[in-house]
Chain A
Amino acid sequence: MSFVHIRNVSKSFQDNKVLNQVSLSIEKGEFVTLLGPSGCGKSTLLRSVAGLNDIDEGSISVGGMDITHLPPKKRNVGMVFQSYALFPNMNVYDNIAFGLKMDGLSKLDIRSIVDDMISLIDLKGKEDRYPNQLSGGQQQRVALARSLVKKPTVLLLDEPLSALDAKIRRSLRNEIRLIQQRLKMTTIFVTHDQEEALTISDRIFVMNQGEIEQVGSPNDIYTAPASEYVARFIGNYNVWSRQQLQGLPVRGVPEQGDVFAVRPEAIRMETGYGDEIEGGIVADGKVTMVSILGNILRFEVDVSGLPVTVDMLSGQSIEHLGSGTPVRLVIPRDEWKSIRKSS
């Protein structure tokens, strides 16, 4: 029996159906991510769990208790917003202590809990600072602490890193993951950033217009996207329809399937036209652009009008393949994924 159960939840704002029969279950202590583009209903689903918006249909239970109709303060879920949402008139200590005060704990108990939490999130010495005296990353750590002190049954994180710059975002991401694992906190994380989702999650729910499009571990989602939508959303997948390939110098395309996805790093690029590999797909084209992404070289190859992205580790004596070089692309048969077409 899973810990969090969301069953057939639907929600409309006026005529706009934002959640359509969404169902998902989460295990205790699991870190799951709702991943999808802006406007697909991630926040609405999260807010439904928090009780910040009501739902039209369906039910939500946590730890075996139906919370569908409970007000937010009775649910004991924690939530962190993109905008931090710290109380500006309170310092770090009082922000973190707020929930415990509301619960009527004694000053002494509050102090020991808050002090522990302040060391956990590494803000010792900053207790007296006000939110406007903290950096974005520090503010978000306080917001996290403010939720965690209440020992919520579920922690909800709505794009908590999106307002931060890239470097802080990565380090806070790791920090959140470490704290979550240490506390074994059941967590639902929302993001539109696929890299973030892939690095932080136990499981990912890819959302598309108010529905769950695919569920799986980061590895599943990355290596085996189930649909065109997921493939296009994850990374830099090459996505082609059978129609697009018609009449191009591409040989060995399997008989089945309408839409295909190929990871850029799964494609081999050759200049000396050797023997075609058994069972592989072969395409001839010309390099149009090369860009350096850290230790990866990204080639844009034009196959008679069809753009193909190829990633290769640098240092494979390929640096000389400048723009205009004719190349042969070889794709192993099992990297050529036939996927579901999305509307």
Chain B
Amino acid sequence: MAGRSTSQHKIRLLLLIPFLLWLFAFLLLPAIMMVISSFQNEGGQGFTLGQYVKGLTHPLYTTAIKNSVILSLVSALVGITVAVIGAYSFTTFSAKMRDRMLNISNIMTNFAGVPLAFGFMILFGINGMLTLLFKKLGLSFLVFDLYSWTGLAWVYIYFQIPVAILLIYPSLYAIKQEWKESAALLGANTWQFWQRIGVPVLLPAIAGTFSVLFANAMGAYATAYALVTQNFNLLPIQIGGMVAGDVFPRVELGSALAIILFLILAIALFINEKMLRLARKGQ
């Protein structure tokens, strides 16, 4: 028995090898190389902290970092708010309607990157269909500049919402009907229920989803690239430019910026975790 189970164990480990190799080749190895490269001089020799210093002090890059963080925070915040309300309304639908809405969210989740950017351009670009239509109808207050910060924020929010819905939706089923009924019988109104029971119960899921959304936006490259190559300064665009560099590839600075991006995500996750723990203690 023991012999057989160890050999089974070995076979299972064997099956894991392709995955581990893949992980090493495409995740671990590049990451290690990136870390090394981020401490090198331009051209790839020596040891220096200069790339980090440049990344954290040069206005071009600090603006990129600031823009990326703000855009990610805003899109994650709006996205999660809309998603919680939307997903909650799904739970009150009939099973058929609910499944339909989830399918739509699922499809929307896959509609991202360059195709999404083109979609927005066709509708809301300078000569976009809706832009022209709104102008014709005299509804120019509905027109916005897709290539500005606001325009980019709309696109980001658009792709955050379905992701957030899919992530938050299952946890809404944890809210039991009997809790609402008990709370009502004990004298609480709807607002008090959500404030004292609903949201606290959902908090871990909301916080977790928020982290994912933040990372999702921080790392979004294709959408931003297609929309705002030159006129809006974002961290992934800077990194992309340096690594894929058309004229002057600066892999070392790009690596340092990528590590900075990674550290921002790690810090965000850490703060998130801390706040969650505090919130739980406070209850």
A contact residues vs B (CB 8 Å cutoff): 50, 52, 71-73, 75, 77-79, 81, 83, 85, 87-90, 94, 98-99, 102-103, 143, 146-147, 150
Could you tell me which residues of chain B, from 201 to 238, have a CB within 8 Å of some CB in chain A?
Answer: 201
Give the distance to chain A from B241, nearest Cβ to Cβ, in Å.
Answer: 47
Tell me if B197 and A102 are in contact (CB < 8 A): no
Confirm or deny: B186 has a beta carbon within 8 angstroms of a beta carbon on chain A. yes
Tell me if A99 and B197 are in contact (CB < 8 A): no
Question: What are 12 sample pairs from A and B whose C-beta atoms fall under 8 A apart?
Answer: A71-B184, A72-B181, A73-B187, A73-B188, A78-B185, A79-B182, A81-B178, A87-B183, A87-B197, A89-B283, A90-B197, A102-B186
Chain A residues, CB < 8 A from B192: 102
Could you tell me which residues of chain B, from 159 to 198, have a CB within 8 Å of some CB in chain A?
Answer: 176, 178-179, 181-189, 192, 196-197
CA distance A221 to B107 in the complex (A): 61
Q: Which residue of A lies closest to B201 (CB)?
A: A89
Confirm or deny: B200 has a beta carbon within 8 angstroms of a beta carbon on chain A. yes
Tell me if A85 and B200 are in contact (CB < 8 A): no
Most chain A CB neighbours (cut-off 10 Å) among B178, B182, B189, B283: B182
Tell me if A73 and B197 are in contact (CB < 8 A): no
CA distance A40 to B158 in the complex (A): 49
Tell me if B185 and A87 are in contact (CB < 8 A): no
CA distance A50 to B183 in the complex (A): 12
Q: Which residue of B lies closest to A89 (CB)?
A: B200
CA distance A99 to B197 in the complex (A): 13
Tell me if B283 and A150 are in contact (CB < 8 A): no
CA distance A229 to B173 in the complex (A): 39
Most chain B CB neighbours (cut-off 10 Å) among A75, A78, A87: A87
Give the distance to chain A from B235, nearest Cβ to Cβ, in Å.
Answer: 37
Q: A150 contacts which of B186, B189, B201 (Cβ < 8 Å)?
A: B186
Tell me if B185 and A72 are in contact (CB < 8 A): yes
Tell me if A102 and B178 are in contact (CB < 8 A): no
Q: A99 contacts which of B176, B181, B186, B283 (Cβ < 8 Å)?
A: B186
Tell me if A72 and B283 are in contact (CB < 8 A): no
Q: Which residue of B lies closest to A81 (CB)?
A: B178
Chain B residues, CB < 8 A from A78: 185
Chain B residues, CB < 8 A from A83: 176, 178
Q: A98 contacts which of B178, B181, B183, B200 (Cβ < 8 Å)?
A: B183
Tell me if A85 and B179 are in contact (CB < 8 A): yes
Q: A79 contacts which of B181, B188, B201 (Cβ < 8 Å)?
A: B181
Give the distance to chain A from B155, nearest Cβ to Cβ, in Å.
Answer: 36
Tell me if A50 and B185 are in contact (CB < 8 A): yes
A79-B181, A81-B178, A83-B178 given as contacts; is B201 within 8 A of A88 (CB)? yes
CA distance A78 to B182 in the complex (A): 9
A89-B200, A90-B283, A102-B192 given as contacts; is B179 within 8 A of A77 (CB)? no
Chain B residues, CB < 8 A from A98: 183, 186, 188, 196
Give the distance to chain A from B281, nearest Cβ to Cβ, in Å.
Answer: 12
Give the distance to chain B from A342, nearest Cβ to Cβ, in Å.
Answer: 33
Most chain A CB neighbours (cut-off 10 Å) among B184, B185, B196: B185
Q: 10 additional contacts, CB 8 Å, given A87-B179, A89-B201?
A: A73-B184, A73-B188, A73-B189, A85-B178, A85-B182, A87-B182, A87-B183, A88-B201, A99-B187, A150-B186
Chain B residues, CB < 8 A from A75: 185
Give the distance to chain A from B86, nearest Cβ to Cβ, in Å.
Answer: 23
CA distance A253 to B51 in the complex (A): 106
Chain B residues, CB < 8 A from A102: 186-188, 192
Chain B residues, CB < 8 A from A81: 178, 181-182
Q: Which residue of A lies closest to B279 (CB)?
A: A89
Give the distance to chain A from B201, nearest Cβ to Cβ, in Å.
Answer: 5
CA distance A134 to B25 in the complex (A): 49
Chain B residues, CB < 8 A from A87: 179, 182-183, 196-197
Give the distance to chain B from A92, nearest Cβ to Cβ, in Å.
Answer: 13
Chain B residues, CB < 8 A from A90: 197, 283
CA distance A97 to B196 in the complex (A): 13
CA distance A147 to B182 in the complex (A): 9
Give the distance to chain B from A115, nearest Cβ to Cβ, in Å.
Answer: 18
CA distance A77 to B185 in the complex (A): 7
Most chain B CB neighbours (cut-off 10 Å) among A79, A89, A99: A89
CA distance A234 to B198 in the complex (A): 42
Tell me if B178 and A73 are in contact (CB < 8 A): no
Chain B residues, CB < 8 A from A79: 181-182, 185
Q: Which residue of A lies closest to B188 (CB)?
A: A102
Q: A146 contacts which of B181, B186, B200, B283 (Cβ < 8 Å)?
A: B186
CA distance A146 to B179 in the complex (A): 12
Give the distance to chain B from A5, nearest Cβ to Cβ, in Å.
Answer: 20
Chain B residues, CB < 8 A from A143: 182
